């Protein structure tokens, strides 16, 4: 895929990717949109749902659709016994004899373009420190020195949103959290049709053709961020965020935080403003509208809020919800 597309063509590739994934996964339209949004914006995403809700399948199909393979996608299931070496690579024994603490990172998280970490809340303290470094500074430590990771897209999954106080910093790094539930009760026929096609494709090792690339993601990210940077550096009103919606953004932020539905830090407030802008550009008209502010529905502070937050956001926005899976 070329990285010299026009912005209009790059944007159309993203919409083509969105439609293709939505055809391949029943009842996962919102998760797909959030996956693409966070991937382009360079923000981590957390998928919440029981086993069998297509979390892993969605990630692997998405990776294939953007031209990644097993050498550039790092996919790992965390257990309470997982050690940092399983994510970062084993210690180089030859370097250790010379007094240097160096990891062999080939094929591990630091050299991946995309990482998918399943059951992330099972992380022990050693793994937690590793993940926070990757998520915060996009680096890990080699012999006491910070070394950048190549990972551009970071997705994690868990059965539910942990309320463990020790994991509060990790929860905060995942601003966008998407709940997945079973769809068989509403969409059984579509589920059987699509699921059987995927199963046969997997058994017959049929490849999924790429529809876009990371370079297109980077191009769009730079384009959207450049406009945002120019606006704030010059201390001007944001032309893509109308004043009345800017005020609504503030109302939602303060109301949901005060009511306990969301727990959005100062850092996350900045990230959410940026993501709303990205959402409007990628999936809307370009200018922020009420529907773009529904991103607040993906910022639950605790497990119970994953069910109630969506309706509360819609009420504040005076939007009537449709029956979406």
Claim to verify: residue 176 and residue 251 sit in the same structural domain:
no
Q: With helix as H, strand as E and coil as C, how does the chain read?
A: CCCCCCHHHHHHHHHHHHHHHHHHCCCCHHHHHHHHHHHHHCCCEEEECCCCCCHHHHHHHHHHHCCCCCCCEEEEECCCCCCHHHHHCCECHHHHHCCCCCECCCCCHHHCCEEEEECHHHCCHHHHHHHHHHHHHCEEEECCEEEECCCCEEEEEECCCCCCHHHHHHHHHCCEEEECCCCHHHHHHHHHHHHHHHHHHHHCCCCCCCCCCHHHHHHHHHHHHHHHHHHHHCCCCCCCCCHHHHHHHHHHHHHHHHHCCECCCHHHHHHHHHHHHHHHHHHCCCCCCHHHHHHHHHCECCCCHHHHHHHHHHHHHCCCCCCCC
Same domain membership, residue 187 and residue 80? yes
Q: Are residues 47 and 188 both part of a single domain?
A: yes
- Kindly state the tokens that stand for 39: 């991937």
Question: pLDDT band for position 321 (50/70/90)?
Answer: confident
Across 15-26, average pLDDT: 95
Asked if residue 36 is part of any domain, the answer here is no
Supply the CATH number for residue 72's domain. 3.40.50.300
Inside any domain, residue 226? no
* Residue 87 shares a structural domain with residue 174: yes
- Considering the domain boundaries, does residue 225 fall inside one? no
Note down the domain range covering 65.
42-203
Given a cut of 80, is residue 3 above it in pLDDT? no
- Say whether both 185 and 290 belong to one domain: no
Is 303 part of any domain? yes
- Which of 98, 22, 95 is CA-nearest to residue 62? 22
Region 173-189: mean pLDDT is 88
Tell me what pLDDT residue 139 has: 94
Does pLDDT of 184 surpass 80? Answer: yes
Indicate whether 266 and 188 sit together in one domain: no
- pLDDT, average across residues 162-166: 89
Both 251 and 300 in one domain: the answer is yes
Q: Tell me whether residue 218 is in a domain.
A: no
Average pLDDT (236-261) is 94
Residue 182: the pLDDT is 86
Strand partners, 142: 145
Does a structural domain hold residue 168?
A: yes
Q: Are residues 143 and 283 in the same domain?
A: no
Identify the pLDDT of residue 294: 96
- Is the predicted pLDDT of residue 32 greater than 60, yes or no? yes
Length of the chain: 325
Question: Where do we find the tokens 């996350």?
Answer: 268
**Residue 65 counted as domain residue:** yes
Q: Which two tokens stand for residue 140?
A: 């890990």
Based on the domain organization, do 182 and 248 belong to the same domain? no
CA distances from 52 to 180, 257, 293, 309 (A): 10, 32, 30, 24
Query: How many domains does the structure of the chain reveal?
Result: 2
Say which range, 36-45, 144-153, 190-199, has the weakest mean pLDDT. Answer: 190-199
Judged against a pLDDT cut of 60, whether residue 226 lies above it is answered with: yes
pLDDT of amino acid 197: 81
Residue 305 confidence (pLDDT) above 80? yes
Contacts of 86 (CB under 8 A, 6+ apart): 76
- 199 and 288 housed in the same domain: no
Does any domain span residue 13? no
Please choose, from the candidates 112, 21, 17, the residue with its C-alpha nearest in 3D space to the C-alpha of residue 72.
Answer: 112
Please calculate the CA angle 187-188-190 and round it to the nearest 5 degrees.
70
Say if CB 219 and CB 54 are below 8 A apart.
no
Q: What is the pLDDT of residue 271?
A: 96
């Amino acid at each position: 895929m070329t990285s010299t597309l026009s912005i209009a063509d790059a944007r159309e590739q993203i919409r083509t990717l969105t439609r293709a994934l939505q055809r391949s996964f029943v009842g996962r339209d919102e998760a797909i949109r959030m996956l693409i949004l966070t991937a382009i914006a360079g923000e981590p995403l957390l998928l919440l749902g029981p086993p069998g809700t297509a979390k892993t399948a969605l990630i692997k199909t998405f990776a294939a659709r953007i031209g990644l393979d097993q050498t550039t996608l790092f996919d790992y299931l965390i257990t309470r016994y997982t050690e940092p070496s399983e994510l970062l690579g084993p210690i180089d024994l030859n370097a250790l004899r010379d007094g240097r603490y160096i990891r062999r990172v080939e094929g591990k998280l630091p050299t991946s373009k995309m990482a998918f970490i399943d059951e992330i809340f099972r992380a022990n303290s050693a793994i937690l420190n590793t993940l926070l470094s990757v998520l915060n500074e996009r680096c890990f430590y080699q012999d006491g020195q910070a070394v950048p990771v190549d990972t551009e897209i970071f997705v994690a999954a868990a059965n539910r949103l942990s309320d463990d106080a020790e994991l509060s910093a990790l929860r905060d790094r995942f601003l966008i959290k998407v709940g997945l539930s079973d769809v068989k009760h509403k969409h059984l026929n579509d589920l059987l049709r699509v699921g059987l096609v995927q199963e046969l494709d997997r058994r017959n090792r049929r490849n999924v053709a790429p529809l876009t690339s990371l370079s297109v993601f980077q191009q769009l990210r730079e384009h959207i961020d450049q406009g945002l940077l120019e606006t704030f550096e010059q201390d001007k009103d944001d032309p893509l965020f109308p004043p009345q919606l800017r005020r609504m953004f503030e109302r939602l932020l303060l109301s949901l935080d005060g009511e306990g539905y969301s727990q959005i830090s100062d850092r996350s407030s900045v990230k959410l403003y940026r993501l709303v802008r990205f959402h409007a550009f990628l999936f809307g008209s370009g200018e922020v509208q009420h529907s773009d502010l529904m991103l607040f529905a993906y910022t639950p502070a605790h497990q119970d809020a994953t069910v109630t937050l969506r309706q509360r956001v819609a009420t504040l926005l005076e939007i009537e919800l449709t029956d979406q899976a």
